[in-house]
Amino acid sequence: MELLSVNVGRPRPNPWKGFRATGIDKQPVDGPVTVTSPGPKGTGEVGLAGDRVYDVKHHGGFDQAVYAYAREDLDGWEAELGRRLGNGVFGENLTTVGLDVNGALIGERWRIGADVVLEVSCARIPCATFQGWLQREGWITRFTRASVPGAYLRVIEPGDIRAGDPVEIVHRPDHDVTVDVVFRAMTLEPDLLPRLLVADALPEADRALARRRTVGE
């Protein structure tokens, strides 16, 4: 399991969502990148130095500090879409290889390189910016049906990371709620929502939604 690339965004105009800019255009960078916890949502801060988000209501903060996507899943989309997809094109900060990102458990912890520890927090939900960026009509629906969303992570131990760093799973919680399960519960299979309550590391907003569904039943 390895970090194939570390990707940092450069601001671009965002005509798809009504914001002045978007940081979805992530590009691989050479050398080390510092990773720190960004603080609460609402500031635009994220976990990687030099990166930020502009839709501060829906992105960034503790629970969405870092976004990871598997190179294997990008390769699958390359074949399906018939176009080259470089590392970072989905807006991911970390492009991994050999790691089951969507099968990762909520609360699972990864050590990257010597110092950094990240914790899997939730699934990425696609938005209008993502669809506009890829220039694919119906992309949100297509991405949702595929259920390979990639994972958001929070920063547990800060430090520097770089392409080629090994990734080691250092903790797996005692439940079966994966990134894939969370994504399906939040999108096409809401009957799964009560199942999410055993995942203590899930963001509070997601747990609140699961609780409302459980009470409603």
Tens of pLDDT, residue by residue over 34-88, are 999 999 999 999 999 999 999 998 899 999 999 999 999 999 999 999 999 999 9
Q: What pLDDT is recorded for position 152?
A: 98
192 close to 185: Cβ distance less than 8 angstroms: yes
What distance in Å separates the CA atoms of residue 124 and residue 37, rounded to the nearest whole number?
A: 18
| Identity of the residue numbered 197 | L
What distance in Å separates the CA atoms of residue 18 and residue 169, rounded to the nearest whole number?
A: 39
pLDDT in tens, 169-205: 999 999 999 999 999 999 999 999 999 999 999 999 9
Q: What pLDDT is recorded for position 167?
A: 98
pLDDT in tens, 113-171: 999 999 999 999 999 999 999 999 999 999 999 999 999 999 999 999 999 999 999 99
Task: Name 169's bridge partners.
Answer: 110
pLDDT in tens, 7-34: 999 899 999 988 889 999 999 999 999 9
155 close to 37: Cβ distance less than 8 angstroms: yes
Helix ranges (DSSP H) in 16-123: 71-81
In angstroms, how far is CA 23 from the centroid of its own chain? 14
- In order, the DSSP letters of 149-170 are --EEEEEEE-EEE-TT-BEEEE
73 close to 86: Cβ distance less than 8 angstroms: no
In angstroms, how far is CA 77 from the centroid of its own chain? 17
Residues 6+ apart with CB under 8 A from 215: none
What distance in Å separates the CA atoms of residue 89 and residue 84, rounded to the nearest whole number?
A: 10
On the question of pLDDT at 94 being above 90, the answer is yes
User: Which pTM does this prediction carry?
Assistant: 0.95
Q: What pLDDT is recorded for position 216?
A: 56
φ/ψ of residue 60, rounded to 5: 85, 180
> Comparing C-alpha atoms, which of 131, 151, 133 is closest to residue 142?
131
